Amino acid sequence: MNLVNIGFGNLINADRVISVISPESAPAKRLVQKGKEDGTLIDATHGRKTMSIIITDSDNVVLSYMDLKQIAVRFGVEVQNDE
């Protein structure tokens, strides 16, 4: 098991992560809303602005205040920009 810090001492199992996405798009917002309704939303922001959304293979949706690039570094992944 590979645990990664996603902010404020909250850890997530890196082996279970499917995707890390930006919260800005409409589909991401719908995913968060569906997670709230289904009871699968985990808010790890400690009241701060959501900067990234982590999706796990168990259909959990995890909100983090950390930027996508910061999370990618912690997962040991290099980020390539399309912009």
At 55-66, the pLDDT tens digits run 999 999 999 999
pLDDT score for 78: 80
Whether pLDDT at 83 is above 90: no
- What are the residue ranges spanned by the domains of the chain? 3-75
Q: For 46, left (φ over 0), alpha (ψ -120 to 50), or beta?
A: left
pLDDT score for 66: 96
- Per the CB < 8 A criterion, the answer to whether 17 and 27 are in contact is no
3-state secondary structure 44-67: CCCCCCCCEEEEECCCCEEEECCC
Q: What is the pTM of this model?
A: 0.91
Q: What is the mean pLDDT of residues 27-33?
A: 97
pLDDT score for 81: 73
pLDDT score for 82: 65
